[in-house]
Amino acid sequence: MTIAPIQLDTYKLGFIGAGKMAESIARGVVQSGVLHPSRISTAHSNPVRRSAFESFGVKVFSQNQQVVEDSDVVIFSVKPQVVKDVVLQLQPLLSKKKLLVSVAAGVKLKDLQTWAGSERFVRVMPNTPAAVGEAATVMSLGGAATEADGELISKLFGSVGKIWKADEKLFDAITGLSGSGPAYVYIAIEALADGGVAAGLPRELALGLASQTVLGAASMVCQSGKHPGQLKDEVASPGGTTIAGIHELEKDGFRGLLINAVVAAAKRSREFSN
Amino acid sequence: MTTAPIQLDTYKLGFIGAGKMAESIARGIVQSGVLHPSRISTAHSNPVRRSAFESFGVKVFPQNEQVVEDSDVVIFSVKPQVVKDVVLQLQPLLSKKKLLVSVAAGVKLKDLQTWAGSERFIRVMPNTPAAVGEAATVMSLGGAATEADGELISKLFGSVGKIWKADEKLFDAITGLSGSGPAYIYIAIEALADGGVAAGLPRELALGLASQTVLGAASMVCQSGKHPGQLKDEVASPGGTTIAGIHELEKDGFRGLLMNAVVAAAKRSREFSK
């Protein structure tokens, strides 16, 4: 049985769960011109959430059922604890003509597909910087999701950052790295600012320089196509200030602490799955 | 004696030293529309460097003297070891009608002003991510540089990233943080990728996620206006994967290592100044 492709020019997108992640994705999709807001809908009873979406042209229904009926692509963006009940409740309306997507952390395709009675599911793991259009996102295609379905999802999530495709069995490791990673960077930025203050800078300048320096360095890695080790070599001049700083990091195992963090977070994610 | 203001609509900009930093700044200025390339010049004998600049419309003279004569604002972007000789050689042409700028790391305003015979100097400390338009830059005004001169320089360097103003006595600390800081982040990105590989990810995916995650987190700090500690609190849910990762960093003094790096690099910078 051939799966009917989603019509790219006319498909409608619905969000089940009108929280921060849904808002970030919807805003990104509209701002980048991928979809006109009239093609997007969600549902919420809370007037604050309603107006958050209505303010940029998204339609807000009263009930999730109306969103599903109106949509060809349905993104489940409710909290992981409630996604099972929500999908089961909507199951009668989830025909195989619809492409279903879940962004619920830790919820497996096998279960989503059972609850929905449909294997045309794509599991997507974005991270919180979707809010500023710089997410690191990974997707995994379910049993009946097509290549074209994957490209459609790629385009949607590409409007809030970068997206990769991977086997679902890698999702615990991905959680440990891109899911939890932003927190490690927030700590690093605060510590760099503290270092600046220790060296004599006023706090506001130290924090501004710290965050912009991390942003710039990450941009260099993302855009230059060079290995980070090579970029490091290029800026560490003989006997200079940079290699003096690097020496402090290396002698006390800075790299190992970050490896430990990713591994521990991935391990905790696996424990949740069991 | 009033210092004649630089005419914003018509001033010409010249680079003494046509290396990578000059190229990054010139490209940023042109791409952002701050100046038309016909208002920018430099000098170099090497045909590769000539064509690098000519390729985006910048004029390339054979001699530095011609650049100075043609320019109202002159940026000295030669290596620190040669800036003294270069400024002394051009001194007869450096009238007080010209605004002089140095980006030479570790070279003080007092010395620049003596060599130039002019106090209308601004010392600027950018960092290497100027190459991708995300520099963290700090400037310090010399004895006869006006507020308007400072705003002009702000606008030029604002086209390649963010810029702050600070007292020159803070420049060693700034070197330790934003000058050398990118290297600490290159190491962090490589370590995060290694963590991903340790947790089971293929290298290419791990490195892509690591760099995008750092970019996204830094963007969140820069754009949200929230304290990094607050951003960390918001993503560390009870008993979750993120706090498990954070615990690994905190128990082994991750923050302290970054402070050590900034302080050591600042100390090395001070040693150079003596």
CB atoms within 10 A of CB B224: 15
Q: Give yes or no for a contact between B241 and A180, defined as CB atoms under 8 angstroms apart.
A: yes
Beta-bridge mates of residue B95: none
Are residues B220 and A132, on separate chains, in Cβ contact within 8 Å?
yes
pLDDT at residue B191, rounded to an integer: 98
Q: Select the residue from B168, B262, B270 to test the A interface by mutation, using most A Cβ atoms within 10 A.
A: B262
Give percent above pLDDT 90 in chain A: 97
Q: Per-residue confidence at A274, pLDDT binned at 50, 70, 90?
A: confident
Q: Compute the distance between CA of residue A180 and CA of residue B232 in angstroms, rounded to an integer.
A: 10
Q: Compute the distance between CA of residue B10 and CA of residue A270 in angstroms, rounded to an integer.
A: 63
Q: How far is A93 from chain B (nearest CA, A)?
A: 33
What is the arithmetic mean of pLDDT over A201-229? Answer: 97
Q: Is B73 helix (H, G, I), strand (E, B) or coil?
A: strand
**For chain A, where are the alpha helices, taking DSSP H only?**
20-31, 47-54, 64-70, 80-90, 109-116, 147-158, 171-174, 181-198, 203-224, 228-235, 241-251, 254-273
pLDDT at residue A16, rounded to an integer: 98
pLDDT at A239 over 80: yes
pLDDT at residue B230, rounded to an integer: 97
Q: Provide the ipTM.
A: 0.95
Measured in degrees and rounded to the nearest 5, phi and psi for residue B164 equal: -125, 165
What is the arithmetic mean of pLDDT over A83-110? Answer: 96
Q: How far is B94 from chain A (nearest CA, A)?
A: 31
> Which residues of B are documented as binding site for NADP(+)?
16-21
Question: Tokens 């605060």 appear where?
Answer: A190
pLDDT at A2 over 80: no
CB contact residues (below 8 A), chain A span 238-267, against chain B:
240-242, 244-250, 252-267
For all residues of chain A together, what is the average pLDDT?
96
pLDDT at A148 over 60: yes
- Which residues of chain A neighbour B139 with C-beta distances below 8 Å? none
pLDDT at residue A65, rounded to an integer: 98
> Which residues of B are documented as binding site?
16-21, 64
Instruction: Provide the whole-model pTM.
Output: 0.94
Question: Which residues of chain B are modeled with pLDDT < 70?
Answer: 1-2
pLDDT at residue B272, rounded to an integer: 87
pLDDT at residue B1, rounded to an integer: 57
What does the pLDDT look like over A31-65, one tens digit per residue? 999 999 999 999 999 999 999 999 999 999 999 99
Measured in degrees and rounded to the nearest 5, phi and psi for residue B59 equal: -80, 135
pLDDT at residue A1, rounded to an integer: 57
What is the arithmetic mean of pLDDT over A169-189? Answer: 98
